[in-house]
A and B are shown apart, each in its own frame.
Chain A
């Protein structure tokens, strides 16, 4: 898949930095949740870097919608705060469509400061994109993946 999703503005400034292991964790959780959409929260220090990924239960238990389990959200939020961190975003999967924010995603985006990561499972190889959603406007951001790859 290539190209800019419809209705999305690509940004050269906005970015989300994460490690290859964190990226793999989001993809693995999303695949494990199939046929339902998988979801989870991202914790960071507000600098645009992911400190930790927290897969959660999809309380909607649906292949087309997700809802982060509220009790898990509370626990993750409290733990983050105790560590001087904060929830900085959410990831979820689209099991049969591309990783572009849907009208539902945009309408229900809870926080304009968050990063919204989408894991697309439409094709055999998962694809991952990250966005900011502010006042109904979608801005795709660059994902900076750190960590070395050691192919054998």
Chain B
């Protein structure tokens, strides 16, 4: 099924400037793999080469962080909106 993905500013140039793209998949993992295949410049920035979620990226299905759901196995429905945002962190240390 096709779901909408909201892209962070940083990834939009890789998707021809689009802020929202529609991608096929039944789980978050499938959706993100398809996203990276469709827009090769995004490869490695959301999923690592090993296929896991990048440590400094947060992915949400509607309001929920997928890390608190079924991670990459989280199922998606046609009306779901997937949001990808960078983790914002740092500190004096």
- Which residues of A approach B to under 8 Å, CB–CB? 37, 39, 41, 60, 62, 64-68, 70-71, 73-74, 77-78, 81, 86-87, 90, 92, 94-97, 101-102, 104-105, 107-113
Q: Are B91 and A37 in contact (CB under 8 A)?
A: yes
Closest Cβ of chain A: how far from B40's Cβ, in Å?
20
* 1/0 contact string of B21-53 vs chain A (CB within 8 Å): 000000000000000000000000000000000
User: Count of chain B residues with Cβ under 8 Å from any Cβ of A?
Assistant: 20
What are 15 sample pairs from A and B whose C-beta atoms fall under 8 A apart? A41-B88, A64-B91, A64-B93, A65-B91, A68-B87, A73-B88, A74-B63, A81-B6, A94-B92, A95-B92, A102-B93, A104-B91, A108-B90, A112-B10, A113-B9
Say whether B80 faces chain A, with CB atoms less than 8 Å apart: no
Say whether B74 faces chain A, with CB atoms less than 8 Å apart: no
Take A108-B56, A110-B10, A110-B56 as given contacts and tell me if A77 and B92 are in contact as well, using a CB distance cutoff of 8 Å. no
Closest Cβ of chain A: how far from B13's Cβ, in Å?
10
- Which residues of B approach A to under 8 Å, CB–CB? 6, 8-10, 19, 56, 58, 60, 63, 65, 83, 85-93
Q: Write out the residue numbers on chain A whose beta carbons fall within 8 Å of the beta carbon of B87.
A: 67-68, 70, 108, 110
Q: Are A86 and B9 in contact (CB under 8 A)?
A: yes
Q: How far is the CA of A113 from the CA of B9 in the complex (A)?
A: 9
Q: How far is the CA of A62 from the CA of B91 in the complex (A)?
A: 9
Q: Write out the residue numbers on chain B whose beta carbons fall within 8 Å of the beta carbon of A113.
A: 9-10
